[in-house]
Each structure stands twice: as structure tokens, then as C-alpha cells.
DNA sequence: GGCTCCAATCTTGTATGCAAGCATTGAATG
DNA sequence: CATTCAATGCTTGCATACAAGATTGGAGCC
């Protein structure tokens, strides 16, 4: 049976795996056919995602994945920094320690990230690198903030997909390891500093795209082949075309869970 | 015209004004009749509130306002502390200053709080004291976190209503003023410390009810009159009865906006 | 050729009908 | 008298039908 929760979950996974670009259209009828249910169920999923800021409805036109403006992105990264470093700080202040099972879980997650680095599967790599932050928040013992953080991570992904700032996966992985090692060594304060630096490197990049943002999406849509110099934006768009699927198509294989 | 957003907004205002107790039943048909629309619209509002953690659905039984457990409350207060102090810290670090218009807005909000202190209108007082935190977050320039904080404030209210820890309104007001004065004086670091203390006084109370929590709701439901000693829980319940309204009734006057 | 207007089509918005599950109440039985 | 079970009413879950707005394409006109 197809529930609204399963639909929204699939969509979120697809975004985290960079398989659904921002502004992708999510037609009710289309999704209903795809999932084999009625529009009612799809609509429930859309409303839920809308409450979480992930999709936006344009009246009687359709549902679209939210397009994150540069201003929103700034608030977004600030929010992530506040939450992620704040959780570590709170953890440090209460003098808690991660137990063996939790350390094991985090170590396992890092192993998966490492494995995905060499892998050709770009989607899974993106998914895991983003999911680590949520996983860490859960491990720090606050499910409420972890849930909020998951949504923020999704929105972050929507922004980086558009602006191609994701870049250095290997570096991200190494910084994750560094955070983990500080926690493992019982030094959450150091973990907080490292996390702060880790998030800071992304935040810098946001400020760099601040000015050009207004034209960015148009430019990307209009000039895919004419200028060979800007090819960083090219492969993604052409990848989507050559497998013959529309942008709103749901991938057949689930990201990872 | 009645939209789903207006319904959920009304419900949230009612909670913040302590006019809807936790575990209150929100029947689809009932609300549809009350708002003069179909179940569909009500249902959309419920799904939205459900995504925000404010209502919970029990399959084929009904929608209920979420009952916050002591464990959830702990995470909730930690989340609020992380976000609210984190925003002030981030504000301080970037060396920003509040402009005149923003200071004016905050000062106006504090005036309203002060006026509501002497007022007999308990609902408005609760609403304003809670709303100040959200207002402050908005003033610090992060609408995303402000929205998340609003939901957390609603959940906090649901917890304090059950456990009657709200108590000292005047003290809360004074602490709000203290935070504001630090900001006005251009010392956000001091504002952060004061906010941390302010939230800390509540958090203490949560830990006090930690142990009895499992029986709390039962006790409250079973022994309303037999023991005169536990009357702290009495007046609220009887207040609701004497005006002849069911617990899920929506108040005629909107809280404040 | 270019502009305007209208109609066809596609989309969401809303209401309603029916199905199915849960709780309660009552009777029947040990 | 206690216990079990069946029937009934009430609630949400889901699908569908219809309404109404938005877009787009083309025909007609200047």
C-alpha cells in the first residue's frame, strides 16, 4: 500500500541523492499514476512537504521543488551552523559521553561514506555526506532538532545543486572524520570547533554566488552548449537528458536508508 | 473564504493562548461545521499541523493535540536554547547591530507584554510572552529559524499547560526586558547570557516533573475533586467546563497578530 | 507582420460518497 | 454476577466528480 509518508520520503531521498533538481515540477496526476494511488494521497504528501518548506505550490499551476534564493541560503547555513554547533556545545556542557553503540553507529556511517567516495554512484555519495549531519544530531540525543536539521539539509542540497558548490566530497569526508575523532576522544568542544570550520567552508561559497544569483537559473537553462568554458554546469543537465527521463521522474532505486 | 492555512493558524493561536489543552480532540467533521467548509480543507490543515508536530492522528479514531512527554520536553527545551542563544551568538559574531525600526518593533512588543500583565486576559498574556521569542528571532534576521522556533514554542506551551509550570509571568517579562536592553546597548553577548539564564529557569522545572510524568495525566484525569491538596491542576479544568464549551472549541476572538 | 482576443486544455481546489476500522454498548451465556 | 461476543454508530481513509483558474495556441483583425 502506498501511503503519503512513503511518497514524501521517496521524494526527499531523491533530492538528497541529487536526482531531483530545484524547481522540478511534481504534478499530482503524474505522481498518482507513478505510485499507483489517487491524487488525494499524493496531495497529502505535497502538503506535508510544503509545511516543511521543500515544495511550493503555485495556485492552479502546480507543485514545484522549492528554489532557494541566495538570501534564503544565507539564513539556511546560519541555521545549520546554529543547530549543529549548538548541539555539540550543549552536549559538551552537560558533560555527556557517547556510548559504545553510538560510536559504532557513527563509525559505520563513516565507513559507508568512505566506500561511496570511490564509487561511481554520485547520488549515494551526496546522500551519505548530507545524512551524516542528521545522523550525528540524532546520536547527540535530540530527535526533535535532528528532524528539523534533516529538512534544512534537504533545502541545502536544493541550493547546492543549483549553484554547483558541492565540489569537494573527499574533503567533506575527511572533515567528518575529524569531528568524529574529537568525539571519540571525549573532546566535544574540539568537535564543535571542527564542525564550525567544516560548515564555514560551505558558507563562504554561498557568499560568492550572492551577486549573480538572479540570473543564474536562466543562464544555466539558456547556455548549455554554446560556451565550452562553463562546462561545470553541463554534465548534470545532459546526464538527465540522455536517460530519457523528465526532471520530475522518481528514481527506481531508493537512495539509502 | 476559509483556507487550510487560516484554520491551522487559528488552532496555533488558540494553543498559544492556552485555550486548547494537550490531547484535545479535533474532529474533522466538527471543525468543518465550525469553519463552514468541507472535511477536505480541515484535513489539509490537520496534515500540515501534523508535519509540524502539533497534532497527532490516531488511525480511524481522530486527531488530537500532541501530548508532550517529559523526554520530549527535555529535547524541546534544549532545542530552544540551542536556537535562541545560537542566533544571538551568531549575531554577535558577525558584529551586527539592530537598526532603529527593529528596536522600535521589539520595544512595542514589550509594551504589549507589560500591558497584558495587569490585564485579566490570561490568554493574551501567555500568547505575548511566548511570541516575544519568535519576534526576537525574526528581528535577528533569520526567518527560517524563526519559523522553526514558532513550532517549538507551540509545543512548549502544550507541555507547560499540562504541567502547570508557566507560573511567573512578571518574572518572564522582566527577563525579556533585560535581554532587550542588552541588545539596545549593543551588547549581544550579554543578551545571549541573559537569554540562556531565562530559558534555564524553565528547563529546571522540566527536570522536576521528570519522574512523576508517567502518572501525571492519569492522576489529573482521575482525581479532580477528591484531593484538595493538588488544586494547582484544578482551576484550569473547571474553567473549561463552566463556560459550557468542549475542549476542541475554537475561541471566537483571535489571540493577537 | 504583429497584436489582441478567445477557446481549448491542463492544472489544482473543493466537496462528497463510500469503504473500513475502532470503540462502545448491549445481550446472551457460563 | 462476570465475561464474551456481536451489532451499531462514529471516525478517518481514500477515490472520484466537478468547479474554477491559468496557460497556451491559434484565429482573426489591424
Q: Which string of DSSP letters, residue by residue, matches B206-218?
A: HHHTTTTHHHHHH
Q: Is B39 helix (H, G, I), strand (E, B) or coil?
A: helix
Question: Which chain A residues touch B83 with a CB distance below 8 Å?
Answer: 82-83, 86
Enclosing H/E stretch for B110: helix B100-118
Nucleotides of D under 7 A from a protein CB: 11-17, 20-23
Q: Is residue A150 part of a domain?
A: yes
The three cell numbers of residue A183 are 568525539
Identify which of A75, A87, A148 has the shortest CB distance to residue B143: A75
Domain range for A146 is 70-208
- Quick one: A137 and A60 in the same domain? no
- Quick one: A58 and A106 in the same domain? no
CA–CA distance, A91 with B46 (Å, rounded to integer): 34
Measured CA B33 to C1' D20 distance, in angstroms: 23
pLDDT at B73: 94
| Residue B29 beta carbon within 7 A of nucleic strand C | no
A47–B47: do the CB atoms touch at under 8 Å?
A: yes
Can you tell me the mean pLDDT for B52-81?
A: 96
- Quick one: B121 and B160 in the same domain? yes
B75–A144: do the CB atoms touch at under 8 Å?
A: yes
Alpha-carbon Rg of chain A, whole angstroms? 19
- Quick one: B86 and B198 in the same domain? yes
- From first CA to last CA, the distance across chain A in angstroms is 19
Confidence of residue B152 (pLDDT cuts 50, 70, 90): very high
Q: Which of B67, B90, B116 is the last residue of a domain?
A: B67
**Which parts of chain A register pLDDT below 70?**
164-167, 209-257
* pLDDT of B245 higher than 90: no
pLDDT at B163: 82
Judged by a CB distance cut-off of 8 A, whether residue A56 touches chain B is no
- Quick one: A52 and A86 in the same domain? no
Of residues B246 and B68, which shows the higher confidence score?
Answer: B68
Identify which of B50, B52, B142 has the shortest CB distance to residue A79: B142
Helix ranges (H only) for B119-187 are 122-139, 143-163, 169-184
Measured CA A160 to C1' C28 distance, in angstroms: 69
Judged by a CB distance cut-off of 8 A, whether residue A51 touches chain B is yes
As beta bridge partners, residue B63 has B57
The region of weakest confidence among B200-204, B223-227, B241-245 is: B241-245
Q: Tell me the pLDDT tens digit for each residue of B127-141.
A: 999 999 999 999 999
pLDDT at A62: 97
Q: Is residue A94 part of a domain?
A: yes
Identify which of B48, B90, B152 has the shortest CB distance to residue A47: B48
CA–CA distance, B221 with A47 (Å, rounded to integer): 35
| Tally of domains within chain A | 2
Q: Which of B67, B100, B125 is the last residue of a domain?
A: B67
- Mean pLDDT of the residues in chain B: 85
The size of the A-B interface in CB pairs under 8 A is 75
- Quick one: B23 and B87 in the same domain? no
Can you tell me the mean pLDDT for B165-183?
A: 90
- Quick one: B198 and B121 in the same domain? yes
Alpha-carbon Rg of chain B, whole angstroms? 19
pLDDT at B232: 37
Question: Which chain A residues touch B144 with a CB distance below 8 Å?
Answer: 53, 72, 75-76, 79, 152
| Residue A43 beta carbon within 7 A of nucleic strand C | yes
Q: For an interface test with A, give the residue of B4, B46, B78, B152 to mutate (most A CBs within 10 A).
A: B78
Q: Is residue A9 part of a domain?
A: yes
Q: Is residue A218 part of a domain?
A: no
- Quick one: B120 and B41 in the same domain? no
Nearest Cα of chain B lies from the Cα of A239 at a distance, in angstroms, of 33
On the 0-12 / 13-18 / 19+ scale of CB atoms within 10 A, A186 is: exposed
Judged by a CB distance cut-off of 8 A, whether residue B83 touches chain A is yes
B152–A144: do the CB atoms touch at under 8 Å?
A: yes
pLDDT at B212: 52
Question: Which chain B residues touch A92 with a CB distance below 8 Å?
Answer: none
User: Which chain B residue's Cα is nearest to A47?
Assistant: B48
Can you tell me the mean pLDDT for B209-233?
A: 47
- Quick one: A34 and A3 in the same domain? yes
Nearest Cα of chain B lies from the Cα of A142 at a distance, in angstroms, of 5
Can you tell me the mean pLDDT for B14-27?
A: 96
- Quick one: A24 and A88 in the same domain? no
Can you tell me the mean pLDDT for B208-230?
A: 50
Of residues B125 and B167, which shows the higher confidence score?
Answer: B125
Confidence of residue B206 (pLDDT cuts 50, 70, 90): confident
Residue A54 contacts residue A12 (beta carbons within 8 Å): yes
pLDDT at A100: 96
Confidence of residue B19 (pLDDT cuts 50, 70, 90): very high
Phi-psi region of B20 (alpha: psi -120 to 50; beta: other; left: phi over 0): beta
CA–CA distance, B202 with B188 (Å, rounded to integer): 22
- Quick one: B84 and B36 in the same domain? no
Amino acid at each position: 500500500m502506498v501511503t503519503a509518508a512513503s511518497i514524501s520520503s521517496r521524494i526527499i531521498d531523491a533530492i538528497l541523492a541529487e536526482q531531483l533538481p530545484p524547481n522540478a515540477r511534481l504534478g499530482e496526476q503524474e505522481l498518482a499514476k507513478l505510485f499507483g494511488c489517487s491524487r488525494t494521497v499524493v496531495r497529502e504528501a505535497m502538503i506535508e512537504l510544503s509545511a516543511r518548506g521543500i515544495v511550493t505550490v503555485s495556485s492552479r499551476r502546480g507543485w514545484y521543488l522549492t528554489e532557494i534564493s541566495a538570501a534564503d541560503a544565507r539564513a539556511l547555513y546560519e541555521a545549520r551552523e546554529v543547530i549543529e554547533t549548538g548541539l555539540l556545545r550543549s552536549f559538551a556542557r552537560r558533560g555527556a559521553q557517547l556510548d559504545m553503540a553510538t560510536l559504532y553507529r557513527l563509525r559505520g556511517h563513516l565507513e559507508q561514506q568512505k566506500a561511496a567516495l570511490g564509487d561511481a554512484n554520485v547520488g549515494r555519495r551526496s546522500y551519505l555526506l548530507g545524512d551524516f549531519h542528521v545522523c550525528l544530531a540524532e546520536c547527540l540525543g535530540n530527535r526533535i532538532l535532528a528532524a528539523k536539521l534533516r529538512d534544512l539539509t534537504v533545502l541545502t542540497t536544493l541550493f547546492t545543486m543549483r549553484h554547483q558548490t558541492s565540489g569537494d566530497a573527499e574533503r567533506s569526508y575527511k572533515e567528518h572524520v575529524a569531528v568524529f575523532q574529537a568525539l571519540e576522544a571525549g573532546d566535544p568542544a574540539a568537535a564543535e570547533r571542527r564542525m564550525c570550520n567544516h560548515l564555514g567552508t560551505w558558507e563562504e561559497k554561498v557568499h560568492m554566488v550572492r551577486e549573480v544569483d538572479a540570473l543564474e537559473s536562466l543562464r544555466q537553462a539558456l547556455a548549455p552548449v554554446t560556451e565550452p568554458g562553463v562546462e561545470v554546469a553541463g554534465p548534470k543537465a545532459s546526464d538527465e537528458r540522455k536517460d530519457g527521463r523528465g526532471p520530475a521522474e522518481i528514481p527506481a532505486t531508493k537512495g539509502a536508508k
